[in-house]
Amino acid sequence: MSASGPGQFGQFAGQAVDEATQTAWKHAAAEAAVREVSDGAIVGLGTGSTAEGMLHALAARVSQGLRMRGVATSERTQTLAQSLGIPMAALDEVDHLDLSFDGADEVILPTLDLLKGRGGALLREKLVAASSRYRIILVDATKITRTLGVGAAIPVEVETFGWRHTAARLAAPGCHITRRAQLAHPGDPADAPFLSDGGHYILDLLFDQPPDIPAVAARIKAITGVVEHGLFLGMTERVYIGGPDGVRYADRGR
Ligand code: 5RP
């Protein structure tokens, strides 16, 4: 495995890679990353399909004798991790986490600034990342981009009370805001809103032009009614990238 440079994966950004290939790349990144877990570690466990691959790889190590405890970033992850036999703790039962693993929707090299939250778990993901000493992101090569918030929406978790007013405060020229709908479940009304594990709505903000990301992050965070947003800036130490040439990693640079 080798370190990667910013230009190596850009050719896959926004490209349609078939699902089986993308899944294989995600799993390869997850398999490589879990080798970083040392005996006795307390590990943050992310949410999403890549994180699920990581849980299976970690469970295999636990079954071979690795001692560790996991802290889940969602109810979904908690349930799967327990079913796989991974010992778990709640965030408030530990003082800190030694490292954490999670997926991402878009990643910029070499800063490792990234966008998360398509799975709707961004608040707990950010809380776990903020308490982790070393943060590792696992992606396939299609997630490496040059800009955030144009190819994928920036998710903003908001209080349900008065959410239309919060959405109005978030409005900006060239920014399209949609309240996220529930994933299709039989019997759901077509427009049932998605609810996060914390019982909040998610507003997805898609920009026509690449926005000034630090400015947008600061502006969103300051708005009354906003709980958290999916921009993770300066919150990642290493990213593992699965792609056509195997798995590479990149450490945060400037
Ligand atoms: C969930 C997330 C996920 O980590 C992100 O959406 C990536 O998901 P996947 O690994 O399924 O592509 O942020 O809130």
Q: What is the mean pLDDT of residues 209-233?
A: 98
Considering the domain architecture, whether residues 123 and 46 belong to the same structural domain is answered as yes
In angstroms, the Cα distances linking 227 to 14, 135, 158, 166 are 29, 22, 5, 11
5 pLDDT exceeds 60? no
Greater confidence, 17 or 4? Answer: 17
Instruction: Look up tokens 């998605």; give the residue.
Output: 194
**Tokens 């405060």 appear where?**
169
How much is the average pLDDT of 38-62?
98
Ligand 1 binding pocket mutation candidate from 21, 26, 115, 118 (most atoms within 8 A of CB): 118
Residues lining ligand 1, CB < 6 A?
A: 46-51, 102-105, 116-122, 125
The answer to whether residue 6 scores a pLDDT higher than 70 is no
Q: Tell me if residue 93 is catalytic.
A: no
Kindly report the CATH number assigned to the domain that includes residue 134.
3.40.50.1360
Nearest CA to 120 out of 70, 182, 177 is that of 182
Both tokens of 233, joined, read 């800036």
**Domains of the chain: total:** 2
Q: Would the pLDDT of 137 be above 60?
A: yes
Span 108-128, mean pLDDT? 97
Q: Which domain holds residue 195?
A: 154-226
Reported pTM:
0.93
Q: For residue 125, how far is its CA from the centre of ligand 1 (angstroms)?
A: 10
SS3 of residue 94 by DSSP: coil
Q: Tell the residue nearest (CA) to atom 10 of ligand 1.
A: 50
Mean pLDDT of 228-242: 98
Q: What is the DSSP string of 160-204?
A: STTHHHHHHHH--TTEEEEEPBPPP-TT--TTPBP--TTS-EEEE
Co-location of 107 and 162 in the same domain:
no
- Looking at the fold, whether 58 and 88 belong to one and the same domain comes out as yes
How many whole angstroms from 117 Cα to the centroid of ligand 1? Answer: 6
